[in-house]
Amino acid sequence: MTFLELAKNRFSERFFSDKQIEKEKLDKILEAGQIVPTACNYQPQRFYVISSEEGLAKLKTVTPFHYNVPTMILVCYDLDVVWTQPNDRLLSNYNSGDQDASIAATTMMYEAEELGVHTIWIRGFDAKSVQETFQLPDNIIPVMMLGLGYPNEKSKPNPWHFKRNDISEFVKYI
């Protein structure tokens, strides 16, 4: 399967079984997030794997969008490590943390798909609540969560998955 075929086939899973992801597959998914390009190769991405009963119970207190996943990766960045551009006139005090973490999450998402593990990208949460609930240091900034697991019998893509705007809306030549 080509990368574009893989990307077109992948969809946000909302119906997970309780089957746990094999450690070998989880390790490959995490490695995919480790090796990504980051600004100046500072590598500020940080991953918190939530799969224990206690961790998943805490997860349900910070987001309604947990979909009963058996494993959630909380994708963050370290504010003390991230590349910054303080003199940007449009984006004052810019840092690359959101971008670096998102590149890592996207790469993990596609590695999971390659391995037959379904995913869902989640950003429906208050970052401060996540930081407090999981007792993260102040320098660790939650960006998103990547739910991982195997589909159950209700699995199907949301009809919106197949809606694509015309490429002319995305691409401009200057």
Confidence grade of residue 37 (pLDDT, cut at 50, 70, 90): very high
pTM of the model: 0.95
Kindly state whether residue 157 falls inside one of the protein's structural domains.
no
Look at the chain and report how many structural domains it folds into. Answer: 1
- End-to-end C-alpha distance for the chain, whole angstroms: 33
As a whole number, the mean pLDDT across the chain is 96
Strands 71-78 and 45-50: antiparallel
Higher model confidence: residue 93 or residue 104? 104
Kindly state whether residue 134 falls inside one of the protein's structural domains.
yes
Residues 115-135 pLDDT 10s:
999 999 999 999 999 999 999
Kindly state whether residue 70 falls inside one of the protein's structural domains.
yes
Mean local confidence (pLDDT), 85-93? 87
Using an 8 Å Cβ cutoff, are 129 and 49 in contact? no
What token pair was written down for 55? Answer: 């961790």
- What b-and-e string marks burial along 56-83, b requiring 16 or more CB atoms within 10 Å of the CB? beebeebbebbbebbbbbbbbbbeebbb
How far apart CA 33 and CA 21 sit, in angstroms, is 17
Higher model confidence: residue 63 or residue 88? 63
CATH of the domain at 67: 3.40.109.10
Residues 6-16 pLDDT 10s:
999 999 999 99
Kindly state whether residue 34 falls inside one of the protein's structural domains.
yes
Using an 8 Å Cβ cutoff, are 7 and 110 in contact? yes
Q: What is the pLDDT of residue 138?
A: 97
Q: What is the pLDDT of residue 87?
A: 86
Domain that includes residue 54, residue range: 21-149
Kindly state whether residue 124 falls inside one of the protein's structural domains.
yes
Residues 60-81 pLDDT 10s:
999 999 999 999 999 999 999 9
* Whether the predicted pLDDT of 5 surpasses 90: yes
Kindly state whether residue 112 falls inside one of the protein's structural domains.
yes
DSSP string of 43-74, one letter each residue = --EEEEEE-SHHHHHHHHHH-S--TT-SEEEE
